[in-house]
Amino acid sequence: MLTKFPLLGLVRPGIVSTGQRFLSSNTAAVVKVHRSIYARRYPTMVVLPNGATININYHEPRRIIKVIAVEIQFGLLSEAERKARLDKRKPKQKIRIEDEVEDNFNARKYLKYIKQK
């Protein structure tokens, strides 16, 4: 199950606390962060395919992460659906708008304003 949902490794099921904290290198990555504000971690909500939500601290500033569990078999898709899904994967190109600058400046028009020595 952890291979389908890679972010579920960040969440630990409810464990009864005994009041003492036993920290070691094995548990340091999965225990509760005992700070209200943790450096370079942002509160993020993970939405699972069944609609369940989990609140985690994530290294990127995102609000919601949707986990998709359905593996798509491209052999079973029609040609149009296959092409549409492959087009979604391609990086989108930014549209560059170049302003055309009309350069009709005439320097001779302003020669009369220059003082001669």
Report, as an integer, the average pLDDT of 84-93: 87
Ordered strands of the 42-47 beta sheet: 53-58, 42-47, 64-66
Report, as an integer, the average pLDDT of 89-109: 84
Rounded-to-10 torsion of CA 55, 32, 10, 27? -170
For residue 114, is it within any domain?
A: no
The tokens for 96 are 């560059």
For residue 109, is it within any domain?
A: no
Side chain identity at residue 1, one-letter code: M
For residue 116, is it within any domain?
A: no
For residue 95, is it within any domain?
A: no
- Could you tell me the pLDDT band of residue 1, with boundaries at 50, 70 and 90? very low
For residue 113, is it within any domain?
A: no
Output the pTM of the full model. Answer: 0.32
Side chain identity at residue 48, one-letter code: L
For residue 45, is it within any domain?
A: yes
Distance CA 6, CA 67 (A): 9
Can you give the residue range of the structural domain that contains 35? 6-14+24-89
For residue 68, is it within any domain?
A: yes
Report, as an integer, the average pLDDT of 45-64: 85
The tokens for 42 are 């942002």
Q: Compute the mean pLDDT over every residue in the chain, rounded to the nearest whole number.
A: 75
For residue 66, is it within any domain?
A: yes
Question: Considering its fold, how many domains does the chain have in total?
Answer: 1
Is the pLDDT at 11 greater than 60? The verdict is no
